[in-house]
Amino acid sequence: MTNNKTILNWLEEMKELVTPDNVVWIDGSEEQIEDLRRQACETGEMIKLNQEKLPDCYYHRTAVNDVARVEGRTFICSKKEEDAGPTNHWMDPEKAYKMLFDIARGSYKGRTMYVIPYSMGPIGSPLAKIGVEVTDSIYVVLNMSIMTRTGQKVLDVLGDSTDWVKGLHCKVDIDEEKRYICHFPEDNYIISVNSGYGGNVLLGKKCFALRIASYQAKNEGWMAEHMLILGIENPQGEVKYVCAAFPSACGKTNLAMMIPPEGYREKGYKVWTVGDDISWMRQGPDGRLYAINPENGFFGVAPGTNMKSNPNALISTQKGTIFTNVGRNLDDNTVWWESLDKNPPVNAQEWKGADVNGPEFIAEGNKLAHPNSRFTAPAKNCPCISPEFDKGEGVPVSAIIFGGRRPDTVPLVYQSRSWDAGVFVGSVVGSETTAAAAGAVGVVRRDPMAMLPFCGYHMGDYFQHWIEMGEKLGDKAPKIFNVNWFRTDADGHFIWPGFGDNFRVVEWILKRCEGKVDAVETPIGFVPKAEDINLEGLEDFSIDTLKDILVVDKAAWAKEAEGIEEFYKQFGDKLPAALKEQLAALKEACK
């Protein structure tokens, strides 16, 4: 498959360490994938679903102790603890390698070692990067073949280059007490042991595409961000692109695949999905910022996905998809999860494998699908996938949007005054805790740029990298905005309708980028004039209501500034001077 000495030498080390019975290279062929599916079904690792209703779709359940990312067992193993920063768990690299290799030693005995060469981004794209993952899990191979581009073509493009990321995954015993997901940013190395769950073992995803790539991006002058990429096409056929970062449960996937309101669709507006989760961005020859989606599929949360909340995501799962930890309808061998529809199957199998009466089981307070159950679906299945998705040159970014979940204080939308002011906005984005979350209610949990669990180095240095990217981009830099779809009324109901109607806000954002609409200056930035957001076709929503959720309350923002100051303390001397200045300016403006 390859003559690349760095790969071959590493694989010899791995074979000696984990002692597999067989070694199989993943060549990217459909024949090989089909054979692996068959093997997985024979061993019970996968279940073949109804091929008429769900062609090429399969079901998998993980161990009950292994159903989500484990942030407490995720480490950045930089040589200096300071370089990992206050927001990451750190482990000394020498200690980590020894511990991990001791756990992994001999763990492939009786098993097959699968070698997966994969490209993050279209193969051969100047914005793409390459990795090689070694695993003893067919489930990982099949997921990686959906989420990334795999096989011989990847190795052909890599040639004898040393610019690739090593990834070792060992299921071992799925022992949660010995589960570790470790990143060695200085060595381009990822090691995951004792897990079989996607987010911990599909090493191209958060591990490479964010934690390792964010460190590479800092050193190489680009950006690896936890952002969707969305194209908006106007009736004249012009497409403008935005990238957007949201903490979890803030509607990121819904925005990535949103359907414009009917009135817009009739006029010829369209939405194109380039990516739903991760954006890699580099400065192009014309000085602008260009983005690619390094992934090739969607690893989406199933519960809550339905034909109302996100029809494009649901349609994406109808073929070639792997479902993990959802419920099964045993009558027709299909899948079900909470909020898919209002008809849970009577003859059901819940996510742990027990046969139950679905409606009765749910009535007793149980769930057929695990709350973090997943679908792994090919991006090409998405009805609104962008024609640019596979091209590799990237799309030019007009705007960057940040958003959190705030019941008050933060208006529906505002534009930052400058790039540095926008970095400030992104660095303090957060969501307010509700009764559903553990701990105190009404506390703002900040998640800078939605990267808190995913930044592979010190977050203060990460903010500084953002500042430096702005200096590099100059007047070609995207404009930066903040949105908040989650303002609530006195009864706790959301005021803004959200979903497809968020298109109206994105339209205003793009008009601002093009200088087509004016705005009102406030202590936090530029807020729309209410009449400049199109409310046509929105029933039961008045311009007065819109004005209410565009208000900037100085007293509330003065209190917000206190919370930001407290949050910033953890970054110490690493907090960029530019952000200190932005905070001081906010405090002054709110007097």
Residue numbers annotated as active site? 250
Helix (H) or strand (E) holding 32: helix 30-43
Name the β-bridge partners of 131. Answer: 118, 165
Neighbouring residues of 124: CB distance < 8 A, sequence distance ≥ 6 = 157, 392
Neighbouring residues of 38: CB distance < 8 A, sequence distance ≥ 6 = none
The reply, when asked if residue 374 is annotated as ligand binding, is yes
Contact assessment for residue 80 and residue 106, using Cβ atoms and an 8 Å cutoff = no
The reply, when asked if residue 408 is annotated as ligand binding, is no
CB neighbourhood size of 274 (10 A): 24
Structure tokens at 316: 């994406």
Identify the three-state secondary structure at position 93. helix
The reply, when asked if residue 248 is annotated as ligand binding, is yes
Contact assessment for residue 4 and residue 10, using Cβ atoms and an 8 Å cutoff = no
The reply, when asked if residue 529 is annotated as ligand binding, is no
The reply, when asked if residue 69 is annotated as ligand binding, is yes
The reply, when asked if residue 501 is annotated as ligand binding, is yes
Nearest to 127, CA basis, from 379, 378, 478, 391: 391
The reply, when asked if residue 502 is annotated as ligand binding, is yes
CB neighbourhood size of 26 (10 A): 25
The reply, when asked if residue 382 is annotated as ligand binding, is no
Residues counted in the chain: 591
The reply, when asked if residue 237 is annotated as ligand binding, is no
The reply, when asked if residue 221 is annotated as ligand binding, is no
Q: What is the DSSP secondary structure assignment for residue 478, as one 8-state letter? A: P
The reply, when asked if residue 571 is annotated as ligand binding, is no
The reply, when asked if residue 372 is annotated as ligand binding, is yes
The reply, when asked if residue 206 is annotated as ligand binding, is yes
| Residue 182 Cα to chain centre, angstroms | 19
| Residue 481 Cα to chain centre, angstroms | 19
The reply, when asked if residue 59 is annotated as ligand binding, is no
Nearest to 329, CA basis, from 49, 43, 139: 49
The reply, when asked if residue 149 is annotated as ligand binding, is no
In whole angstroms, give the CA distance from residue 283 to residue 221. Answer: 9
The reply, when asked if residue 487 is annotated as ligand binding, is no
The reply, when asked if residue 192 is annotated as ligand binding, is no
Residue set of the binding site for substrate: 69, 197-199, 248, 372-374
Residue set of the binding site for GTP: 249-254, 374, 405, 499-502
Residue set of the binding site for Mn(2+): 206, 226, 277
Residue set of the binding site: 69, 197-199, 206, 226, 248-254, 277, 372-374, 405, 499-502
